[in-house]
Structure 1
Amino acid sequence: MTCTLKHGISDYAFGEETACFAHAGSDFHRSLWDGISDAVLVFERTMEKPHYMNAATRNMLGGGSSIQAAVQLCEGGFFHDLMAEGAALDQAEATGSATFRTHPAFGGKRLNGRVMSTLNEQGELYFVAMFHVETEQESAEFLRKEVNSVITHELRTPLTSIKGALDLMKSGLVGPLSDKAQSLLNIAGANSDRMLSLIQEILDLNESAQAGPKPESEVIGIAGLLEGLVATHQGYGAYHGVDVKMRPTDAALQIRAVPAQVTKILSNLLSNAVKASERDQSVDIWAQQSGSEIAIFVRDHGGGIPAELRDTLFERYTKASWGNDRRVGSSGLGLNIVRTLVEQMDGTISFETQTGEGTTFRINLPAWS
């Protein structure tokens, strides 16, 4: 993009800020602005000329003069991105401030920041932009949000509608169905459930890798949590002919964590344990003190984890084989999510398995006292 600032940028001396920002030109205030690590740029919507830029702006753009830096910003599309329809300047003028992210024109990097609107004593509108070169973490976070948005709006929402329509047909509200039609609906419904489960696992995986503030943690009584989990999984176990039960656990055991995350971890392990079990077998869950940690165990009595999967069990897309004839869809993401969540809580996860005798997963989390 070719950009020409009005009145000729080369004719403007940046040491001669307009009266509106003359204070920025004093040695004291200039040192304050130059001490800010983010780039600072003051300009009008007309783009006649930037009124001020600090040292970080010039350094970010090669360390040349203010004139050279302004030309780089212009030719890189910085002002174009901010002025695009519905973009940052419109939002900042309407609400006072807005975040922005430019196209990757600055050494292949994007610029991230916030632009604020302000009026001078004469009521003239100016904008103050503070920005920096996008970090790898910010880039990954942006991509995560984009992926989640696409998955949610383009996959999960329409699939949920399809599942709802299938359930209505199965319920008989649209009239009686032949046995063959009912069988086809059951297959479609089961695959819809599987796809929705896969979509949720992908969203969970992206969420577990999210940068920034984490959900609030709270003190959790382990015994009560396990009792609730057993109650909610007994129906699932009964459907597969497996008894889900809790072994004795000290009611005084506590951890500090995010309840939803602990529930997600243990629910995954319990459902996997049920899948690994034969009919008339049991799945046990319990906890005990282990030094300064609480150890939580989930045990099944199935066929054990195949030797070829043991070294990569917690890696993405390692699909578990349950060692029985049960056909259960698996995305290979569940245990990777479990490990990620456990590590975020400063915990560890491990397992012991023996062919023909079953598997015990162990999670160690810091105890709360």
Structure 2
Amino acid sequence: MSHEIRTPLTSVKGAIELLTDERYFKNNDQQSKLLTIAHANTERLLTLIGDILDFSKLDSGSLPMHFERQRIESVVTQAAQNLRTLIEERNIALEVLMANDLPDLMIDPNRIAQVVTNLISNALKFSPSNAQLRITVENWQGMVRVGVRDHGEGIAAENLPKLFKKFTQIDSTSTRRAGGTGLGLVICKGIVEQHGGQMSVESAPGEGSTFYFTLPAAPAGAPSTTAEASA
């Protein structure tokens, strides 16, 4: 099912990218504008479909996980680097603070990168231009805790429980502008819990938000990899 849904959209995306390549096509301003809009919305549809498919697998207990002994530093650094262009376009000052004595973890690095990327992307969506975004990685109560702090409009206390409910979005100007399925944080929470961790949030109106997730340290003597598991 995943292949049948993604392939047509991926083909459309590829065709649009070819049409925007000035080596082959000379578009006027109006054509370029329309192609840019089409490309952006195709990307958005692919993201939405990915969210729905991941949630469906999480909900049915079939989201594959491949655990391996890994350092969280490299996962966080790479996720931030992958969003560097967007960070620079928004003129966001990114600060990454990592503790020096972090333990090894048993994680699926691709899935944890998905969590970190989602949290950074959300922070960028809800932060004004020229703001600061801070990522912290620390030892916390015997676990590793990753935090992503933005300086957006913040969230009222009564709305915090809604953040991790499926297909639920807080009704605010910034949320309506950002769009989305309301599944991103639900998926992140499911991935983190499958790793034996937890997700939480601290926020207040006018003070921005900090999203945290924790991961347990790898047990002593744990193998470098484990067999693939489903959620």
Deviation at 1:305, TM superposition (A): 2.2
Paired with 1:186 and 1:350, the residues of 2 have a C-alpha distance of: 36
Contact 2:96 2:135 in 1 (8 A): yes
The match for 1:365 is 215
The match for 2:114 is 264
Q: State which of 90, 97, 101 in structure 2 corresponds to 1:247.
A: 97
**1:152 maps to amino acid:** H
Q: Secondary structure at the match of 2:203?
A: strand
What is the aligned-residue identity percentage?
A: 32
Paired with 1:214 and 1:174, the residues of 2 have a C-alpha distance of: 41
The match for 1:318 is 168
Paired with 1:200 and 1:350, the residues of 2 have a C-alpha distance of: 23
Contact 1:273 1:300 in 2 (8 A): yes
Matches within 5 A, 1:295-310: 295-306=145-156, 309-310=159-160
Structure 1 length normalisation: TM-score?
0.55
Q: Are residues 223 and 348 of structure 1, via their aligned partners in 2, closer, same or farther at CA, if it must alter by over 3 Å?
A: same
Deviation at 1:327, TM superposition (A): 3.2
Higher RCO (Cα < 8 Å, 6 or more apart): 2
**2:3 maps to amino acid:** T
The match for 2:3 is 152
Deviation at 1:361, TM superposition (A): 0.8
The match for 2:226 is none
CA displacement, residues 210-262 of structure 1 (integer Å, 9 cap, x when unaligned): 54695331222222332222222222211222122211322433321111111
The match for 1:353 is 203
Contact 1:306 1:323 in 2 (8 A): no
**2:51 maps to amino acid:** E
Q: Are residues 296 and 310 of structure 1, via their aligned partners in 2, closer, same or farther at CA, if it must alter by over 3 Å?
A: same
Aligned length: 219
The gaps in structure 1 that reach 5 residues or longer are 1-148
Q: State which of 259, 282, 289 in structure 1 corresponds to 2:139.
A: 289
Q: Secondary structure at the match of 1:288?
A: strand
Residue 93 (structure 2) pairs with residue 235 (structure 1): no
Larger Rg: 1 or 2? Answer: 1
**1:267 maps to amino acid:** T
Paired with 1:290 and 1:325, the residues of 2 have a C-alpha distance of: 31
Q: Secondary structure at the match of 1:184?
A: helix
Contact 2:135 2:148 in 1 (8 A): yes
The match for 2:190 is 340
CA displacement, residues 159-199 of structure 1 (integer Å, 9 cap, x when unaligned): 11111111111123553222222221111111111111111
Residue 30 (structure 2) pairs with residue 180 (structure 1): yes
Q: Secondary structure at the match of 1:361?
A: strand
Q: Are residues 182 and 175 of structure 1, via their aligned partners in 2, closer, same or farther at CA, if it must alter by over 3 Å?
A: same
Q: Secondary structure at the match of 1:303?
A: coil
Paired with 2:180 and 2:204, the residues of 1 have a C-alpha distance of: 22
Q: State which of 163, 170, 191 in structure 1 corresponds to 2:41.
A: 191
Structure 2 length normalisation: TM-score?
0.84
Q: Are residues 242 and 162 of structure 1, via their aligned partners in 2, closer, same or farther at CA, if it must alter by over 3 Å?
A: same
Q: Are residues 178 and 306 of structure 1, via their aligned partners in 2, closer, same or farther at CA, if it must alter by over 3 Å?
A: farther
Paired with 2:37 and 2:61, the residues of 1 have a C-alpha distance of: 39
Q: Are residues 350 and 218 of structure 1, via their aligned partners in 2, closer, same or farther at CA, if it must alter by over 3 Å?
A: same
Deviation at 1:324, TM superposition (A): 4.5
Q: Secondary structure at the match of 2:191?
A: helix
Q: Secondary structure at the match of 2:152?
A: coil
Paired with 1:331 and 1:182, the residues of 2 have a C-alpha distance of: 28
Deviation at 1:332, TM superposition (A): 1.0
Matches within 5 A, 1:99-178: 149=1, 151-153=2-4, 155-178=5-28
**1:348 maps to amino acid:** Q
Deviation at 1:326, TM superposition (A): 8.9
CA RMSD in angstroms comes to 2.4
The gaps in structure 2 that reach 5 residues or longer are 221-231
Matches within 5 A, 1:13-24: none
Paired with 1:348 and 1:330, the residues of 2 have a C-alpha distance of: 23
Give structure 1 regions of 4+ aligned residues with deviation exceeding 6 angstroms: none
